[in-house]
Structure 1
Amino acid sequence: GARMTIGQRIPMRDGRLKVTGQLKFGADLRLPDLLHARLVLSPYAHGRIRAIRTERARAVPGVAAVLTAADLPWFQREPESHARALLAWERVVYYGQPVAVVLAENEAAAADGATQVEVDIDPLPVLIDPLQAMSEDAPWIWPGGRPGVRADAGAHAADIGGSEGGPSARSGNIADRAHYKRGDVTQGFREADLILEFTYRTSSVHQAYIEPHTAAAALDPATETLTLWTSTQDPFGVREEVADFLGWPENRIRVIPTPVGGGFGGKFTLLEPLVAALAVHSRRPVRLTLARQEEFLIGTPAHAAIITLKTGARRDGTLTALQARLIFDAGAFPGAPHRIAAHLLGSFYRFPHYEIEAVEVLTNKPGVGAYRAPGAPQALFALESQMDEMARQLGLDPLEFRLRNAMEEGDELPNGKRYGPIGLRACLEALREHPLWRERRKGPGEGIGLAVGGWHGGLEPAAAMCHVDRDGVVRIYTGAVDLQGTHTAMAQLAATILGVPVEQVRILQGDTDMAPYAGAAGGSKTIYTVGLAVQRAAEEARQQILRIASECLEVAPEDLEIRDGRIYVRGVPEPRMSLGEVAGLSQRFGGKFEPVVGRGSSAQTEQAPGFAAMLVRVRVDPETGHVTVREAVIAQDVGRAINPLLIEGQMHGGAAQGLGWGLWEALRYDENGVALTASFVDYALPIASEVPPIEAHIVEVPSPHGPFGARGVGEPPVVPGAAAVANAIRDALGVRITELPITAERIWNAFTAHLIEETRFQYEFGS
């Protein structure tokens, strides 16, 4: 059979260029006659724009224009999304919202000009706390009605339903509600021997990619078509959004994706509508690259959540009921992943009775965006902390308690669908055998914590093409952006099917004019959807090759096989023809064979949920509350590992980001809505010296629908990190921390309160 390249540890195709700094990114693009754009940001989180004075800025040498929404008619309306509010019209709704843009011949002049724009704003009341924003008497952030919904959360996961919702469910600043119910929770709590209730809080976190947003646009005066070059995860989505924004047909817009220097869900559509409008207005090419501070102020982070869980269990560890209330802070525009989070709460363990309610609340903060498994780190921090606490209070092993209640194939989800084959139990079983869990050796002040996470996986139709050339090179045409090595994995798929060395496969990523449709690179769906299209395109090309060879060799196609780019008759040791020779017969004057072109499409309708389980050992200094993560182990079900090397990279990166959620990261705002964490000095990220050695265990429970059984990989590993750390701290100190990030101060306060309570108890009741 074919030499299997599937399962081989092949380095990422553009990895060397990336680490040596040779890859050309969007900001490296040289366009003739280019204007550089710089934003002028609002110093208020909420207010009416009285005046924007631009005379001094226009006088700066090199400045070509200073524009506001008054100059660009597309912005003169209530915006329905964060991306369409990148020039404020009449009022600002978050701190840092752009109010003007300076266009100049060079970046320095643009920056100088921006400092000279004077903005006069009448402050309005600011809503920062979602609980306050929800109250009946809170002023409405959008008095004129409700803005539209961002597509990002939906692009990450298929719609998960849930009754209620839509514009009718809006009241005040509540933009959306979701509700899932099964059985009778009152009855469930009556049957419980233990009932626990906690409120968990997660912070707002930024995707913190290395490359800031960058986009350029140029109008072709001959055809009146617009070309955009942008660092995006979703070129076809950008084309649709910009066309809709400008009121143009999509065929007048071409989107050329540039390499993405980190996305994590934060690079869908942001700068592109503004940059498109600037290029159309000025009739010159325009580029806008955000400075790091702007990135923190106007990017689309994951916003905070408040999740209250009440759960019941019997003494033997059987779950009886779950009652959950989720409040997601969406910032100034709807699009929070509250529905995904609510659905996930009912998708891990068998609660016979549950009621889950989720609301999305608008506040005066930048709009929310997708961040690696949107909604899942928040939901699972709450659920896994709760499961851990129940196990401890019932005196049960936390891993066995989870195994006893874990959902599996055939179990019904809150949206009424049923699970196919899933690897939740397999991931837990992989950790059960690990020495860190089996022996649980702990030094002084140390604790060991466990948590699971998962992601149901996105769905989107996709197509791909496969050409075979005269020299035997296989060319795959795709519209999918490669964020994390998916092109390398696609090459492995095609090489395995066509029986050629992987070096002989070229992946050609086209722009929106040249490439077959592929959805956004997000939601852990690229290999599951586009990979399947690539597999089918390669299979069709293989059939064409074998048909031509069988005619030339006068052997039935099923008696032929392809190995190392050569065609053999089964059972005969010598090759008869090469792949290139066969393809060449279809590419020459007077040839009688059709050119070898395989076409493949997919429209997956069943999700392929991926699960991960994580184990951490921490040391806590009781005097300072400082936490050191000593080691981490993560087991993840990937269906079928097409490239274990790149999968381990995803697992390491996800685990590190999960620890970031748990211990360090938070965007903070003062009571006036001013961002206090607008630089890497103030926004704490996990650094190399703080991320422990991470041991990755790949689990394979094949998906019936993915290429060769593969599932999505990118999202699951981020999900369990925060809960695993919280559970390890509980193991070390005996205190339950319910708020992220778990800072030294929070630990010290909780531990001190715990000691005072213990001392009081001993004093009153005797030890």
Structure 2
Amino acid sequence: MTEKAESQSSNTESKTYKFLGQRIPLHDGIQRLQGEMPYTGDLEFAGMLHLRLVISPHAHAKIKSIDLSNALKVPGVMGVFRAEDLPCGNKVINSRTSAVLAKKRVLFNGQPVVAVAGESIQAAEDGAEKVKVEYELLDPVIDLEEAVRPEGPVIWPEGIPDSDVDLAADHGGDQAGKQAQQGPRSNVNQGDVYERGDLEQGFRLADVIIERTYRTSFVHQSYLEPQVCVVNPEIGGRLSVYVSTQGPRSIRKEVARLMSLPLSKVNVVPMAVGGGFGGKHGLIEPLVAAVALKMRRPVRLELNRGEDFMGGMPSPACQVELKTGATSEGTFCALEARILMDNGIFASPWGNLLATLLGSTYNVPHARVEYSEVNTNKPMGGPYRAPSAPLSAYVLESNVDLMVKELELDPLEFRYHNAASTGDEMINGTHWQSVNIQACLERLKEHPLYQNNTNEENTGSGFAVGVWRCNVSPAGANCRMLEDGTMQLYLGTSDISGIHTGFAQVVAETLDLPLESIEVIQQDTQSGPIAPVSGGSMVSYSVIPAIREASEEVRERLLKLASEHFEASTKDLELHQGSIRVKGVPSQMVSLTKLVKKAESSRGGEGPVMGSGKCSLPENAPAASVHWVKVKVDPETGEVTPLHYLAIQDV
């Protein structure tokens, strides 16, 4: 069950929509159910080669030698490649996508070292088994506390790679932390301290102080479809990259950079996404592109499940030391946190995001949050379902529950009294553009499940607050109505979570068209409009204004055509179920198909009925939520059974 909280700044008068907010089938649901949806792994090209990888069995080691001779003798093997054999071999390794193949050393267990291209998958696998790599083991950095000790081994003694700022921007982070101090190198690649008020004074005011240390592990996104990519080199030097991805444009940018090609020579063709959850933002595409350039043949690489688990970009592990204080009157007066974010081998922004959310969900007058982005010999930490937000809620709400329990306060009233509101300053010095925690709590308080809740034997209930900054990005959209009445919507945004169905609803609402007449077309990076990555909770907020602008332009074009047909003012006309009619005179009606045919067939006519829209919003649109659950616990087995679940979302 999900409730929607009213925005503090919105008009509370409800509007009745015909299509928006309605439960409708996914626009491509039948295709998916019948197995007709084309996925990247289904693609076949004439002369296509298959790649298999030789991956590192060690977390940290020097590569002493690589013997390719036996692999090259395997029937069907067409090429065996080390890093220096590829067009991108001279590029600096400073991110997961630039780590095409290991060079002088391996940095994590599962890192690709050699790529073998074969006429078949079996030939490539047989060749990979014949590659001999000799390693000299180095001390790995695994434990977070060990990683930050000055006397311990340092992963990047020659300097720490830059943070992946693009990845941060895609997921709600608008600033990177400060670079680690110059001088002796360390495994802390970035970090900062956010402070406000007088921390010592804050804890002196507290009647209860709770100190806890929380630890989380790496979590793989576990999408059903593993990482897979096909690259086809075309006439004229262009690479067509077919891939299941949440961010086609970021992949085009990285492939072009690593291959030293202009953007116009790289065309990313987004295929159906078989699950992403933050894990499909680019990983193997540069490697496949490099081999395709080298061989001048189509190349496909599909990771097996083990390779994907070991070499992907799971959400990072973390350690948070949290100390909080509150007064007996219910004021959240002090908060101190130390965050060690295990970003794996490369730099990521997730500690910064966690610090911002942890210190900004509640208005705590005296606070200090220190975070460190730490490198270890593990795969690079990546985004996973609002990165750092679930961790912030888990850590912060656990401490809040402990405080209110000890003070014997109402947990809802405590949160309501201390919750951040629109315009409040965040711990990093910026301000909440909008955040409606209190509205969510009000909805919870008045809901029958909460009001009528009684805890019977072996049952219990509780709730937690969560916030997410969301993000925003420039976007465009194009529309065209065909002469048979089909409305085509052209986008560059990958479809995850059924978002294309939502886009069709926007067009249907604007033009009063049946949903089945709307076709959503996801275009490649060569032809499609600019689009954000499908992540960071930014797609609807960023793209829908552009879609609305494009469909409204079509609407105005159609009304103009109808005004000429009826010799009436556009103000006296209205769209109605695929037609335009004169207001108050339902019999005076003309179909849209007739208008479009006339516009496209007459000399000197209006021409194609098209519209375009663009949007670049200046601010994020943060969201809040409150989730309440009631469970029953079997005292003998420990089995927990959810009885009721209520999710209240600020939309």
TM-score, structure 1 length as denominator?
Answer: 0.80
- Is 1:103–1:110's contact at 8 Å kept on the other side of the alignment? yes
Whether 2:312 is the aligned partner of 1:264: answer no
User: Structure 1: any 5+ residue segments left out of the alignment?
Assistant: 640-767
Whether 2:642 is the aligned partner of 1:630: answer yes
Whether 2:497 is the aligned partner of 1:484: answer yes
Structure 2: how far apart are the matches of 1:374 and 1:356? 18
Of the structure 1 ranges 165-174 and 440-449, higher mean CA displacement relative to structure 2 is found in: 165-174
In the other structure, the counterpart of 2:11 is none
In the other structure, the counterpart of 1:467 is 480
In the other structure, the counterpart of 1:84 is 98
Q: Deviations over 1:571-618 (max 9, x none)?
A: 112242112222223211413224321110000111111222222334
**Partner amino acid, structure 2, of 1:62:** G
In the other structure, the counterpart of 1:341 is 354
- Is 1:179–1:358's contact at 8 Å kept on the other side of the alignment? yes
Specify whether residues 461 and 108 from structure 1 end up closer, same or farther in structure 2 by C-alpha distance, changes over 3 A only.
Answer: same
Structure 1: how far apart are the matches of 2:613 and 2:239? 29
**Offset of residue 308 of structure 1:** 1.3
- Is 2:87–2:290's contact at 8 Å kept on the other side of the alignment? no
- Is 1:104–1:110's contact at 8 Å kept on the other side of the alignment? yes
Q: Deviations over 1:542-580 (max 9, x none)?
A: 112112222232211122110101111111122421122
In the other structure, the counterpart of 1:585 is 598
Of the structure 1 ranges 432-441 and 160-169, higher mean CA displacement relative to structure 2 is found in: 160-169
Structure in which a larger fraction of residues adopt strand: 2
Whether 2:164 is the aligned partner of 1:144: answer no
Whether 2:334 is the aligned partner of 1:289: answer no
- SS for the counterpart of 2:600 is coil
- Is 1:156–1:370's contact at 8 Å kept on the other side of the alignment? no
Whether 2:62 is the aligned partner of 1:48: answer yes
1:303 pairs, out of 312, 316, 341, with: 316
**Offset of residue 425 of structure 1:** 2.1
Matches within 5 A, 1:727-766: none
- Is 2:288–2:299's contact at 8 Å kept on the other side of the alignment? yes
- SS for the counterpart of 1:454 is strand
Q: Deviations over 1:508-547 (max 9, x none)?
A: 1100011011011111111111111111111111112112
In the other structure, the counterpart of 2:211 is 197
In the other structure, the counterpart of 1:172 is 186
In the other structure, the counterpart of 2:82 is 68
Structure 1: how far apart are the matches of 2:541 and 2:46? 40
**Offset of residue 622 of structure 1:** 5.9
- Is 1:34–1:284's contact at 8 Å kept on the other side of the alignment? yes
Structure 2: how far apart are the matches of 1:472 and 1:454? 43
**Partner amino acid, structure 2, of 1:364:** N
Whether 2:129 is the aligned partner of 1:115: answer yes
- Is 1:480–1:509's contact at 8 Å kept on the other side of the alignment? yes
Structure 1: how far apart are the matches of 2:35 and 2:166? 30
- Is 1:465–1:478's contact at 8 Å kept on the other side of the alignment? yes
Q: Deviations over 1:373-401 (max 9, x none)?
A: 01111121110101111111111122222
Taking every aligned residue pair, what percent have the same amino acid on both sides? 41
In the other structure, the counterpart of 1:441 is 454
User: Structure 2: any 5+ residue segments left out of the alignment?
Assistant: 1-14
In the other structure, the counterpart of 1:506 is 519
Matches within 5 A, 1:333-372: 333-372=346-385
Structure 1: how far apart are the matches of 2:90 and 2:629? 52
Structure 2: how far apart are the matches of 1:489 and 1:518? 16
Specify whether residues 484 and 54 from structure 1 end up closer, same or farther in structure 2 by C-alpha distance, changes over 3 A only.
Answer: same
In the other structure, the counterpart of 1:103 is 117
**Offset of residue 408 of structure 1:** 2.0
Structure 2: how far apart are the matches of 1:395 and 1:284? 70
Structure 2: how far apart are the matches of 1:2 and 1:440? 32
In the other structure, the counterpart of 1:524 is 537
Structure 2: how far apart are the matches of 1:122 and 1:77? 24
1:321 pairs, out of 325, 334, 353, with: 334
In the other structure, the counterpart of 1:7 is 21
**Partner amino acid, structure 1, of 2:338:** R
**Offset of residue 318 of structure 1:** 1.0
**Partner amino acid, structure 1, of 2:39:** F
1:406 pairs, out of 413, 416, 419, with: 419
Structure 2: how far apart are the matches of 1:482 and 1:273? 23
Structure 2: how far apart are the matches of 1:298 and 1:579? 53
- Is 1:241–1:273's contact at 8 Å kept on the other side of the alignment? yes
Matched residue count: 637
**Offset of residue 350 of structure 1:** 1.4
Whether 2:51 is the aligned partner of 1:37: answer yes
Structure 2: how far apart are the matches of 1:168 and 1:30? 51
Of the structure 1 ranges 350-359 and 266-275, higher mean CA displacement relative to structure 2 is found in: 350-359
Structure 1: how far apart are the matches of 2:406 and 2:185? 40
Specify whether residues 284 and 455 from structure 1 end up closer, same or farther in structure 2 by C-alpha distance, changes over 3 A only.
Answer: same
In the other structure, the counterpart of 2:12 is none
- SS for the counterpart of 2:643 is strand
2:33 pairs, out of 13, 19, 25, with: 19
Specify whether residues 166 and 600 from structure 1 end up closer, same or farther in structure 2 by C-alpha distance, changes over 3 A only.
Answer: farther
- Is 2:176–2:349's contact at 8 Å kept on the other side of the alignment? no
- SS for the counterpart of 2:571 is helix
TM-score, structure 2 length as denominator?
Answer: 0.94
- SS for the counterpart of 1:17 is helix
2:437 pairs, out of 416, 424, 427, with: 424
Specify whether residues 578 and 489 from structure 1 end up closer, same or farther in structure 2 by C-alpha distance, changes over 3 A only.
Answer: same
Specify whether residues 421 and 552 from structure 1 end up closer, same or farther in structure 2 by C-alpha distance, changes over 3 A only.
Answer: same
In the other structure, the counterpart of 1:276 is 289
Structure 1: how far apart are the matches of 2:228 and 2:379? 18
**Offset of residue 452 of structure 1:** 1.6
In the other structure, the counterpart of 2:256 is 243
**Partner amino acid, structure 2, of 1:412:** E
**Offset of residue 623 of structure 1:** 6.4
- SS for the counterpart of 1:75 is coil
- Is 2:57–2:110's contact at 8 Å kept on the other side of the alignment? yes
- Is 1:585–1:591's contact at 8 Å kept on the other side of the alignment? no
CA RMSD of aligned residues (A): 2.1
- Is 2:168–2:349's contact at 8 Å kept on the other side of the alignment? no
In the other structure, the counterpart of 2:107 is 93
Structure 2: how far apart are the matches of 1:205 and 1:449? 25
Structure 1: how far apart are the matches of 2:280 and 2:183? 29
- SS for the counterpart of 2:621 is coil
Structure 1: how far apart are the matches of 2:32 and 2:475? 27
Structure 1: how far apart are the matches of 2:416 and 2:183? 38
- SS for the counterpart of 2:601 is coil
Specify whether residues 240 and 111 from structure 1 end up closer, same or farther in structure 2 by C-alpha distance, changes over 3 A only.
Answer: same
Specify whether residues 2 and 548 from structure 1 end up closer, same or farther in structure 2 by C-alpha distance, changes over 3 A only.
Answer: farther
In the other structure, the counterpart of 2:392 is 379
- Is 1:54–1:118's contact at 8 Å kept on the other side of the alignment? yes
- Is 1:180–1:356's contact at 8 Å kept on the other side of the alignment? yes
In the other structure, the counterpart of 1:574 is 587
Whether 2:240 is the aligned partner of 1:227: answer yes
- Is 1:218–1:284's contact at 8 Å kept on the other side of the alignment? yes
Structure 2: how far apart are the matches of 1:433 and 1:485? 31
- SS for the counterpart of 1:65 is strand
Structure 1: how far apart are the matches of 2:298 and 2:165? 28
Structure 1: how far apart are the matches of 2:619 and 2:592? 35
Specify whether residues 169 and 233 from structure 1 end up closer, same or farther in structure 2 by C-alpha distance, changes over 3 A only.
Answer: farther
- Is 1:53–1:117's contact at 8 Å kept on the other side of the alignment? yes
**Offset of residue 501 of structure 1:** 1.2
In the other structure, the counterpart of 1:159 is 173
In the other structure, the counterpart of 1:690 is none
Structure 1: how far apart are the matches of 2:57 and 2:588? 72
Specify whether residues 57 and 149 from structure 1 end up closer, same or farther in structure 2 by C-alpha distance, changes over 3 A only.
Answer: same
- Is 2:437–2:650's contact at 8 Å kept on the other side of the alignment? no
Q: Deviations over 1:690-743 (max 9, x none)?
A: xxxxxxxxxxxxxxxxxxxxxxxxxxxxxxxxxxxxxxxxxxxxxxxxxxxxxx
